[in-house]
Amino acid sequence: MIRLQPEDLLLVLGARPPSDVGAWLRDGLRDAVASGRLEAGAALPSSRSAAAGLGVARGTVAAAVDELVGEGVLESRPRSSVVVADLARHPVGASSRGGPADAPPRPASVGAPDPALFPRAAWARAVRDAVRALPDAELGYPDPQGLLGLREALAAHLRTARAAPVEAEDVVIVSGVAQGLALLGEVLAGGSSGRRVVVEDPASPGVIEQLRDAGLDVVPVPVDGRGLRTDALPDAAAAVVTPAHQFPLGVVLAPDRRRELVAWARDGDRLVLEDDYDAELRYDRQPVGALRGLDPEHVALLGSVSKLLSPALRLGWVVAPPGVREALVDAKRRADLGCSVPEQAAFARMIESGAYARHLRRARLTYRRRRGLLLDALAREVPHLPVEGVAAGLHLVVRLPDGDAEARAVAALRGAGVPADPLSGASARAGAWGVILGAARVQGAAVPRVVEILGAVVTRGEVSFASPRE
């Protein structure tokens, strides 16, 4: 067995950064194992020895190792040492039970986080502690509105993190934003205000599909560099918007348009559905405050842990205005009787203990660093391709000159394992060519591969775009 020394780790990790050494250690080891620079079966130095050699706290080393063991990147052998896992034999994220060994991996969404960043140890502690503390009475059928402890914790978090006026009674726990939209669509379809719902153009095709499945008529309204065109708002019962980080273009709804949208809702007694899907993952400044703060009576705020922890948890929330709350809770009860109580209790424990906030800080730093490397490479190698949506979230948009370039880029990126969707598929307008690129997992060798693919599908030099950036 090869036994690594601290100086061996320094060679693969590179220079120690001035801050966030935990992420440097964690990401560096993960990349080194995945690329084969650390050989399978090699034993890591003890946490004490590694800490001394790397100049970091022993607890930092132990935390990084624990997380990588949980991910399957490292293996802990009883009465022995921690060794590098054989990823060729046991790929990270592969299940050892319950499915055929050769089952193809499920394609990742462009908005999915890196599952390797899921805080397994913190989540496991939260589940253990929360379940131990659950009263017997909470282990029957759940309250369809959600566990009171989670609603209280979320209300406090959203008041601080999203500058939104929220009390526990306003919150309805749902199985992700998808279910929240489906339930609100059901409520709208059964109301007396009509079936027309405004959506942004471009927008998530999944959102449009959900609204149509609820029996609603979708009316696209264009988005430009300042967000939704509020001067083009038609008569409708509601509007679904992503004001903090428009999907997919990434623009922020301008202050005057925020006020105009709320006035449109108030004047017609309409409902604004604010999809706050990744607003807390902002890299250039503090997150933009929630639209709900302008009018809690007409804005329903939707969020989830899908971008911030993992979509596998199926946990989300709707901060509902008083006029729709009772109908929304009733729709939730009829849909599934309520969400799993142990998971709700565990998430509440993570919020209350500060573990959720710590994870968000680490995730922001990691995604900002990865995004920066990708953007630098794109600017250097394909400067003629406009890149949008760079200041927040888990995706970005690369504009392309025509539909042929778009189709070839999407196919090649997907073939390389990089999440990618055509921009044209998200828009009702002709000429919106480009790639919606999932950037959360693009790191290491994937960066030059993405740049190579995008450079290969267009002619280098001057490029004529059918739809220039608005």
In the prediction, which pLDDT does 301 show?
98
C-alpha dihedral, 134 to 140 to 146 to 148, nearest 10°: -40
What average pLDDT score do residues 181-191 get? 95
* Domain boundary, last residue among 64, 79, 105: 105
Q: Is the pLDDT of residue 30 over 50?
A: yes
d(CA 196, CA 218): 6
Place of tokens 């130095």: 45
Task: Read off the CATH number of the domain in which 39 is found.
Answer: 1.10.10.10
Is 194's pLDDT higher than 60? yes
Q: Is residue 465 part of a domain?
A: no
Region of poorest pLDDT, from 227-241, 362-376, 420-434, 450-464: 450-464
pLDDT, tens digit, for every residue of 315-346?
A: 999 999 999 999 999 999 999 999 999 999 99
CATH number at residue 311: 3.40.640.10
The pLDDT score that the predictor gives to residue 95 is: 41
Q: What is the CATH number of the domain that holds 443?
A: 3.90.1150.10
Count how many domains the chain has: 3
Is the model's pLDDT at 369 over the cut of 60? yes
User: Hey, what are 350's tokens?
Assistant: 């993570």
CA-CA-CA-CA dihedral for 313, 148, 123, 132, to nearest 10: -120
**pLDDT tier at 197, thresholds 50, 70, 90:** very high
Same domain, 193 and 85: no
Residues 270, 239: contact at Cβ < 8 Å? yes
Boundary of a domain, candidates 355, 383, 399: 355
Do 200 and 258 lie in a common domain?
yes
Pair (130, 16) in one structural domain: no
pLDDT, position 79: 56
The answer to whether residue 462 scores a pLDDT higher than 50 is: no
Locate 127 and state its tokens. Answer: 């589940």
Q: Is the peptide bond before 115 cis (omega within 30 degrees of 0)?
A: no
Read off the pLDDT band of 288 (50, 70, 90). Answer: confident
Instruction: Judge if 164 and 230 occupy the same domain.
Output: yes
Q: How far apart (Å, rounded) are the C-alpha atoms in residues 173 and 378?
A: 40
- Residue 145 sits in the same domain as residue 199: yes
Domain end call among 76, 105, 134: 105
- Report which secondary-structure segment, H or E, holds 381: helix 355-381
pLDDT at 93 over 50: no
The pLDDT value recorded for residue 78 is 62
19 and 128 in a single domain? The answer is no
- Residue 99's pLDDT is 45
Mean pLDDT of 39-67: 86
**Is the residue at 436 inside a domain?**
yes
| Within a domain: 115 | no
Confidence (pLDDT) at 2: 82
Pair (216, 350) in one structural domain: yes
Q: Which whole number is the average pLDDT over 202-223?
A: 95
Amino acid making up residue 211: L
Backbone angles phi and psi of 77, in degrees to 5? -105, 125
Q: What is the mean pLDDT of the chain?
A: 89
Amino acid found at 52: A
List pLDDT tens digits, range 105-159: 566 799 999 998 999 999 999 999 999 999 999 999 999 999 999 999 999 999 9
pLDDT score, position 445: 86
Q: Which structural domain range is residue 30 located in?
A: 6-105
For residues 307 and 376, state if they share a domain: no
In angstroms, the CA 399 to CA 460 distance is 14
Residues ≥6 apart with Cβ < 8 Å to 101: none
Does residue 385 register a pLDDT over 90? yes
Give the least confident one: 5-14, 141-150, 170-179, 249-258.
Answer: 5-14
Rounded Cα distance between 332 and 338, Å, is 7
The lowest-confidence range among 63-72, 100-109, 199-208, 257-266 is 100-109
- Is residue 462 situated within a structural domain? no
CB 146 within 8 A of CB 317: yes
Nearest to 257 by CA among 286, 285, 222: 222
Q: In what order do the strands lie in the sheet with 387-388?
A: 387-388, 395-399, 434-438, 420-422
| Percent of the chain predicted with pLDDT > 90 | 69
Same domain, 339 and 363: no
State residue 297's pLDDT score. 97
pLDDT attached to residue 105? 54
Residue 321: inside a domain: yes
Residue 200 included in any domain: yes
Indicate whether 223 and 301 sit together in one domain: yes
* Residue 91 within any structural domain of the chain: yes
Model pTM score? 0.79
Q: Please say whether the beta carbons of 369 and 447 come within 8 A.
A: no
What HEC string does 386-414 produce? Answer: CEECCCECCEEEEECCCHHHHHHHHHHHH
